[in-house]
Structure 1
């Protein structure tokens, strides 16, 4: 079985993982040049690309005792209700890209919602809640699971969500640890997953989240060569242009986090990752 966050018995892979293995600390960051226009900060209710934005990342929206990757849908709804009540705007990754590269302003209280792996409960549990609140989101999908694994999304589910403001992007073919692959193998999984999704969706796939948050110097060359515009890590923190387009931070959301911790990460751009 491929070593990604899949479960036959729900905790077979994740039971030995802790938060520090899922959410990386800021050990080492590579930077890539990003177009930098006027370094404007906050102007009225808009912000420009000198500011950071929280990119939340989830995995499964379901419940399993002791599994921090699986967030009950009631808890997810509470978090989405908080975003709605506090007038947050959810951005697509295209909007985020144009914010970073072209300095297109976005609302001051902007947030990006992402999911890793492509679990079926993203469709069954998260998608109805996102539609209810009118929120955008993005799912990074392991393409080898599509139409083949019962706990993962089907091509029809992906197409339906794609037509309803849910971005469908790459998480490689087999949840590959890019850090352990040579350049040619990295290019293959990056291109194969991208092209597979494009055939299903009939639209360009431009973004990727690195499995395990792992990458190296070859990865940074490979993702650009494969035609991706941005890539996301698991380094804990808000995202900004200084991190580089291919090494962007994200904000991990765990079932171990209570509502106060969710709010702290959402409202504090310099929050510290807990040990």
Structure 2
């Protein structure tokens, strides 16, 4: 079994104190990142130090594919670190820490959001990175499919993959796959999806897909509906340990 953690924005506490801010993305989509998706750099480091100190193994996507499709075993304490959306803070704050600690992670890339040219860092926006910057972090991050232009939503219950036709969804998946390394791994935008979307991924030969439903992944978890846990800022370490599936 294993736990998957998902992060979005890692910021200094001073930046987080500025409150919710709009996103800034290449295709012009307008939205704002909810505050529960922000973690302070200090807390992020605290979590990683706990995982390292407790002897956790940091998984790769190949190991998870092996677990589900080749009956390979995973280390008893296993965790997958993921990031969504490729915000500037991933480069400014998260990447140096992960590199220093020797921890690899997966970044789900909405490729239509990514800028062609590098942009100045913006404290007041959730600004997305450029393709060149993502390439520069490829020693730590493995990039996987998070749609091309379909990372959009209506309210909190419906994302674009749910209202578009299957053919349109497939074309968007194929567009994203022109840019990402992992072409059979997906994360549902905003964690919103339906069973038609799952079937489309299956028909398109995807092997893994990640939700934002919390929980532990076991051999019985559907590999196209894997659990991911959002870590809320300041969650006590004992609660974090429960999230990891540790015994009390």
Identify whether the pair has TM-score above 0.5, normalized to the shorter chain. Answer: yes
How many aligned positions are there?
213
Aligned to 1:166: 141
Superposed, 1:24-35 pairs within 5 Å as none
Q: Is the 8 A contact 2:145 2:182 kept in 1?
A: no
Alpha-carbon distance change, 250 to 204 in structure 1, aligned in 2, over 3 angstroms: closer
Distance 2:45 2:140 in 1: 18
TM-score (norm 1): 0.71
Q: 1:236 deviation in Å?
A: 1.1
Q: 1:165 deviation in Å?
A: 3.6
Aligned to 1:117: 85
Aligned to 1:24: none
Aligned to 1:87: 55
Q: Deviations over 1:76-107 (max 9, x none)?
A: 01110101111111011111111122121221
Q: Is the 8 A contact 1:100 1:240 kept in 2?
A: no
Distance 2:238 2:197 in 1: 36
Distance 1:107 1:243 in 2: 17
Q: 1:230 deviation in Å?
A: 0.7
Superposed, 1:251-270 pairs within 5 Å as 251-255=229-233, 257-268=235-246
Distance 1:204 1:111 in 2: 19
Partner-residue secondary structure (3-state), 1:114:
strand
Q: Is the 8 A contact 2:105 2:142 kept in 1?
A: yes
TM-score (norm 2): 0.79
1:152 lines up with 2:101 in the alignment: no
Distance 1:147 1:237 in 2: 34
Q: 2:76 aligns with which of 98, 104, 108?
A: 108
Q: 1:246 deviation in Å?
A: 0.8
Q: Is the 8 A contact 1:68 1:256 kept in 2?
A: no
Superposed, 1:1-275 pairs within 5 Å as 52-62=1-11, 63=13, 64-65=16-17, 67-147=35-115, 150=119, 151-162=127-138, 164-174=139-149, 175-176=151-152, 177=159, 178-195=161-178, 197-198=179-180, 203-255=181-233, 257-268=235-246
Partner-residue secondary structure (3-state), 1:61:
strand
Greater mean alpha carbon deviation, residues 257-266 or residues 88-97: 257-266
- State the 4+ residue runs in structure 1 displaced beyond 3 angstroms: none
Partner-residue secondary structure (3-state), 1:71:
strand
